[in-house]
Structure 1
Amino acid sequence: MAAPRNLIGESGRLLRDEESAVAKEDDDSPTGKRPKLERFPFTRWELAGAFGVFFVFSAGLFCIYSTMPAADFRKLKLPRTLSDLRILKDHLASYAKDYPAQFILGYCSTYIFMQTFMIPGTIFMSLLAGALFGVIRGLLLVVFNATAGASSCFFLSKLIGRPLVSWLWPEKLRFFQAEIAKRRDKLLNYMLFLRITPSLPNLFINLACPIVDIPFHIFFLATLIGLIPASYITVRAGLALGDLKSVKDLYDFKTLSVLFLIGFVSICPTLLKKKKIYE
């Protein structure tokens, strides 16, 4: 009878091992209980740091608004549609003319705040710049604000961005890291290509660059120069705001072709160098 008892004992042990293995797989699976806690990317200290930075920026924005000349701000809101933008432009036209310095300060601080904290709607702010200031002044404002906001987002991501980007775009981050590693010798050209063309979203570029160890001076120059073509298109469209039917009309096939052509010119030195190496 010893043999059957041993078999029964062995079977029981194997069954317990299988149950333990299944339980472990359930814990490691997407529907398990533990990943629900691990799914949130930030630690308490990182979350506290993010809220701290947001509070400082918000306090600065509030101080700027509180010192601006009195106006009826009840009808003002961040535009989400072209209709909202047209209404906003009508309300702000006289204010911007009467108080140009204060208005520009408020406009710039709002744009940089939105860009830093990845708040959608900066394209409407760019259209507004064209509608209120014209092409040249509007372009200078947009490029300055977009570069300053992207730089703030860069340093914010350097502080707490790694877990967020790894959580939201793990595959895209690995691809971006591999592409950067292959182009270290001509990094500025590649970054210019990414900024000029819509190959990768600007939001992802702002957050991912410090994670893949792109130097800030490369990031800054590529942003400052690379955003000019797309910003010019958007600011110029603001002049004819009444005729614009959809934001999608800004980037039709012809416009995208021009942007990719400019981007291809920027990356030509990298391609030519690779060709010489292979020869």
Structure 2
Amino acid sequence: MKEQQDVDLSSHSDPSSLRSNGDNREIEAKFPLTFWETAGAFGVILGFAIVLVGMYLSLPDSDYSFLKFPRTLEDLRVLRYNLDRYTMDYTIQVLVGYCTVYIFMLTFMIPGTVFMSLLAGSLFGVLRGVALVVFAATVGASCCYFLSNLIGRPLILSLWPDKLVFFQNQVAKRKNRLLNYMLFLRVTPTFPSAFINVASPLVNVPYHTFAIATSLGIIPIAFVTVRAGMALGELQSIGDLYDIQSIGALFFIGIASITPTLISNKSKS
């Protein structure tokens, strides 16, 4: 058994050909994409575009030059000021548009979701803001998961080949406590969130485990960020979001989520 494990791990040393421990299928870098993979990716993009255009057409005629992905706090303040005028009269359109943009950003790994979380707190308050962020983040991560399962291999093998090998080994070691491990990854900055979304289907993390860990694991971070959005005018930088108390709380939650795995491994040894 030990020999078989060594053989499997040795095959991981080549980033261009990684063998899955779950069903022995190979994760290979393949590019260019097949016709159906390319069609599927464009179909997802087209779906998002149709929803966004529909939301845009349902709003009253006005100057919407402020509508763009926020990259700075100043961009966010301008966006918040303008959207606040529409939130009361066009609540449904704003909610759908917000969720669509958030999901789109996560699906295609576009940076800036922290600004969208701040915007949720500023527009909708803490409770509704956290619920909105958790919903949109879970759906967006799920879309990224399924899209990666379709076309993600060449992308992740070009960006994070070494991380993928390490992640696959860790997942294989923690099959019995995989939910705890995935919760730990969501709460702590062990891996980038985008990497977890893209890599999970390629290393055989079951979707139900992925979805539960995502929806529960992002609640603490969402709460911290959304709450900060309530005082958007007082923020000087993104670094102001995470004080010592917030970081300590997230660290404690991360340790608590992985403790059952550590205890189980110790008892087995």
Aligned to 2:42: 51
With 181-190 and 245-254 compared, the bigger mean Cα shift is at 245-254
The offset of 1:252, in angstroms, is: 4.0
Distance 1:191 1:50, change over 3 A: same
Aligned to 1:121: 112
Counterpart residue type for residue 81 of structure 1: T
Contact preservation (8 Å) 1:42, 1:164: no
**Equivalent residue in structure 2 for 1:184, among 175, 187, 190:** 175
Taking the aligned partners of 1:211 and 1:261, their CA distance within structure 2 comes to 29
Identity fraction in percent:
56
Structure ranking higher on relative contact order (CA contacts 8 Å, 6+ apart): 2
Instruction: Point out the structure with the larger helix share.
Output: 1
- For each residue in 1:201-256, what CA deviation from the matched residue of structure 2 results, as whole angstroms up to 9, or x when unmatched? 11000000000011100000000100000000000000111111111222344422
The offset of 1:120, in angstroms, is: 1.4
Structure 1 gap segments, 5+ residues each? 1-38
TM-score under structure 2 length normalisation = 0.84
**Equivalent residue in structure 1 for 2:230, among 239, 242, 246:** 239
2:129 aligned with 1:138 = yes
Taking the aligned partners of 1:173 and 1:83, their CA distance within structure 2 comes to 36
2:104 aligned with 1:84 = no
Contact preservation (8 Å) 1:188, 1:222: yes
Taking the aligned partners of 1:75 and 1:206, their CA distance within structure 2 comes to 30
Secondary structure of residue in 1 paired with 2:203: coil
- For each residue in 1:138-178, what CA deviation from the matched residue of structure 2 results, as whole angstroms up to 9, or x when unmatched? 10101000001100111000110012111111000000000
Aligned to 1:20: none
- For each residue in 1:28-86, what CA deviation from the matched residue of structure 2 results, as whole angstroms up to 9, or x when unmatched? xxxxxxxxxxx994335344442333223222322232223444312332211001111
Taking the aligned partners of 1:140 and 1:71, their CA distance within structure 2 comes to 30
Distance 1:40 1:185, change over 3 A: closer
Taking the aligned partners of 2:126 and 2:58, their CA distance within structure 1 comes to 28
TM-score under structure 1 length normalisation = 0.81
- For each residue in 1:91-138, what CA deviation from the matched residue of structure 2 results, as whole angstroms up to 9, or x when unmatched? 111211222122111111111111111111111111001011110011
2:195 aligned with 1:204 = yes
Secondary structure of residue in 2 paired with 1:61: helix
Structure 2 gap segments, 5+ residues each? 1-28
Aligned to 1:220: 211
Counterpart residue type for residue 234 of structure 1: T
Taking the aligned partners of 2:145 and 2:138, their CA distance within structure 1 comes to 10
Aligned to 1:272: 263
Matched pairs, number: 240
1:16-35 counterparts in 2 under 5 A?
none
